[in-house]
A and B are shown apart, each in its own frame.
Chain A
Amino acid sequence: MLKDEFFKITGSAKNESGVVTYSVTLNPNHPIFSGHFPGNPISPGVCNIGMIKACAEHELGYGLLLGNIKQCKFKHLITPTEHPDLDIVLDMEEMENGNVKLNAKITKGDIVFMELKGEASCES
């Protein structure tokens, strides 16, 4: 839904402790930006959550229901003009019950745009 339309993945890298960083680029021409807000494009907080989920699904290779967001803090607005290129950092753990524990953030350079802690279930 959002992937390849609202944003696209331009690369990914995994470090030695298993944390994956996805490089993504926003599509400034996506219709969402014309409604949020007219003449003042800002990525909706829910789309930031959606980008994290989409990258997690891409990494895991299956769909997720993000049914439990323990905490999600939005610290800095994301605009497609000022911040079209973002890093999505995923620290995931697949648990015995099949759920995925997810700690994620969206950053670029020194800026942390948002942080999310939650748990998702596998969606067949």
Chain B
Amino acid sequence: MIQGEAIKELIPQREPVMMIDTFYGATATEGKSGLTVTSSNVFCENGKLREMGIIEHIAQTSAAFNGVKNKQANGEDSAPKLGYIGEIKKCQITRLPKVGERMETQVVVTAEALNVTLMEATTNIGAETIATCQIKLFEEE
């Protein structure tokens, strides 16, 4: 489990755009992260994390998964690569997390090619699924 400052070893984003506070670990094809919503979150409004925050949380879960894979392939000292969202599909958000609530996102790799990763994400608050999404992530070489 990776938390706090160590998250910066996995993803290139920095405050105030960091949207994961914990990365729980990765298998060959799956990764999981979490974020507790705080009122100071840049994507929070009127006590709720907006859609942008949820989708960025999903994107950074994918980025952290890639960060772990990058370290496994290229060594622990490998810095996280810059990455961008290439495409989002079938993104359903049924409700917004409130300040104090914790959301956790599981990503599963469905396809990989060179610097492109296609993933399916599920975001839960407790047992309740609040968002599902397909995301394509590009990474710089």
How many residues of B sit at the interface, in one of the four size bands? 20 to 34
Q: Give the contacts of A11-66 with B (CB-CB under 8 A).
A: 31-32, 34-38, 40, 42, 44-47, 49-50, 53, 65-66
Cβ-neighbour of A36 out of B17, B45, B88, B90 (below 8 A): B17
* C-alpha gap A1/B40 in the complex (Å): 12
Give complex CA distance A34, B12 in Å: 12
8 Å CB interface, A67-87 against B: 67-74, 77
Given contact pairs A44-B17, A73-B87, A66 touches B93 in the complex (Cβ within 8 A): yes
Q: A22 to nearest B CB, angstroms? A: 18
**Contact, CB under 8 Å: B52 / A50:** yes
Of the candidate stretches B25-33, B69-77, B78-86, B119-127, the one touching chain A is B78-86
Number of contact residues on A: which range applies? 20 to 34
Question: B2: which A residues are within 8 A, CB to CB?
Answer: none
> Are B45 and A1 touching (Cβ within 8 A)?
yes
Verify B94–A46 contact, CB threshold 8 A: no
Bound: A65/B94 CA distance, A: 9
Evaluate whether A53 and B86 lie within 8 angstroms (CB atoms) in the complex, with A1-B45, A32-B17 already known. Answer: no
Chain B 14-54 interface residues, beta-carbon cutoff 8 Å to A: 14-18, 42-45, 50-53
- The CA of A74 and the CA of B135, in the complex, are separated in Å by 11
* Closest chain A CB from B65 CB (angstroms): 17
Q: Is B96 an interface residue (CB 8 A)?
A: yes
B residues bordering A, Cβ < 8 Å? 12-18, 42-45, 50-53, 55-56, 59, 82, 84-94, 96, 133
